């Protein structure tokens, strides 16, 4: 089975109204669809551009801005739900800070032609999220999204730098891991990409990275952004020798479009030069007992 994926190098832009943001978002989705994309991946915290619609006082208060964002959540989800239905594609939306049980979680919503089908929350918080922004580590539930062409899971930014999530997702059927990310520096972007390449190697799967780019000085949360998109695989038979399926130059706005062949992964998992995936499953990880895995039909 094959699928064409679009992964975004996405700038944080200032918008004058909800209508302007909605038109802007539609143009991004339409652009990917016109390039035959069937699965669209947006970056972590791309939704924070909606804070441009808030008052300057709230916009410059790290705690107040995420609380106020909750009032925009329904409109955000309705917009992406409409676009996924209209263009009949799967959209992994920019992560959104959600208020739930008096805590704020970093959440990625997933949409298909059915509308909103599920979400994935971030497990591991960076120091900025934890110490300054007040974003909490979410309950340990992993979602495996099952499509006709295969299954995928999501590891948000810092999460991709740890093996456990991707290992469990792949053990439960995922052959693609999506890593939406938001980083300020080359160092931060590099950590995410090193993690993504490691997860692709360990699990003999594809890993796609989407990142925010350029600066948004009006936003104290996502004011500086450095990133680039890439898709990685295990360097094995009939796959790129360096494990890099496709990669974009940093800071260039737009989509990276790539067709992925999942039969190639099946072949290397069954008869590869090495058996990273099978051997990884033999590793006893205590954290597995604390993480629930659920399946989501899309």
Q: For the chain, 298 residues long, give each residue's pLDDT as a single digit of tens.
A: 899 999 999 999 999 999 999 999 999 999 999 999 999 999 999 999 999 998 888 888 888 888 889 999 999 999 999 999 999 999 999 999 999 989 999 999 999 999 999 999 999 999 999 888 889 999 999 999 999 999 999 999 999 999 999 999 999 999 999 999 999 999 999 999 999 999 999 999 999 999 999 988 888 888 899 999 999 999 999 999 999 999 999 999 999 999 999 999 998 999 889 888 888 877 655 556 678 998 998 8
User: CA angle, 207 as apex, 187 and 250 as ends, to 5°?
Assistant: 40
Distance CA 22, CA 10 (A): 15
Distance CA 2, CA 64 (A): 44
Distance CA 255, CA 239 (A): 22
Residue pair 163/94 in contact by the 8 Å Cβ criterion: no
Residue pair 169/202 in contact by the 8 Å Cβ criterion: no
Q: 213 - beta bridge partners?
A: 11
Q: Provide the pLDDT for residue 289.
A: 65
Contacts of 5 (CB under 8 A, 6+ apart): 37, 38, 39, 40, 41, 176, 208, 231, 257, 258, 259, 260
Distance CA 204, CA 268 (A): 7
257 sits in which H/E element: strand 254-261
Q: At what angle do helices 163-171 and 186-203 cross, to 10 degrees?
A: 30
Strands (E), 45-159: 90-92, 96-100, 103-112, 115-121, 141-147, 150-154
69 sits in which H/E element: helix 62-69
Q: So where are the chain's domains?
A: 2-297
CATH code of 2-297, in short, is 3.60.110.10
What is the sign, positive or negative, of the torsion defined by CA atoms of 220, 225, 230, 235? negative
Q: What is the pTM of this model?
A: 0.95
């Amino acid at each position: 089975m094959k699928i064409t994926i679009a992964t975004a190098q996405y700038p944080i832009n200032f918008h004058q109204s909800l209508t302007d943001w909605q038109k802007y978002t539609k143009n991004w989705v339409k652009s990917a669809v016109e390039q035959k994309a069937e699965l669209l991946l947006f970056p972590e915290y791309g939704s924070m551009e909606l804070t441009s619609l808030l008052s300057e006082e709230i916009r410059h208060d790290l705690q107040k801005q995420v609380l106020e964002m909750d009032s925009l959540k329904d409109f955000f989800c309705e917009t992406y739900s409409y676009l996924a239905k209209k263009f009949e594609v799967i959209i992994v939306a920019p992560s959104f800070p959600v208020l739930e049980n008096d805590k704020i979680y970093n959440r990625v919503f997933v949409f298909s032609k059915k509308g909103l089908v599920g979400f994935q929350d971030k497990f591991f918080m960076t120091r900025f999220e934890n110490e300054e922004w007040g974003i909490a580590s979410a309950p340990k539930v992993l979602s495996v999204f099952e499509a006709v062409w295969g299954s995928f899971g999501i590891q948000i930014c810092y999460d991709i730098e740890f093996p456990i999530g991707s290992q469990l997702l792949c053990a439960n059927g995922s052959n693609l891991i999506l890593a939406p990310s938001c980083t300020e520096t080359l160092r931060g972007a590099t950590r995410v990409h090193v993690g993504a390449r490691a997860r692709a190697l360990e699990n003999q799967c594809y890993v796609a990275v989407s990142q925010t780019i350029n600066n948004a000085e009006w936003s104290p949360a996502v004011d500086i952004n450095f990133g680039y998109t890439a898709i990685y695989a295990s360097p094995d038979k009939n796959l790129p020798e360096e494990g890099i399926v496709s990669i974009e130059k940093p800071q260039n706005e737009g989509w990276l479009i790539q067709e992925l062949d999942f039969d190639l992964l099946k072949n290397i998992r069954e008869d590869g030069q090495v058996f990273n995936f099978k051997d990884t499953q033999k590793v006893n990880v205590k954290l597995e007992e604390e993480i629930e895995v659920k399946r989501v039909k899309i």
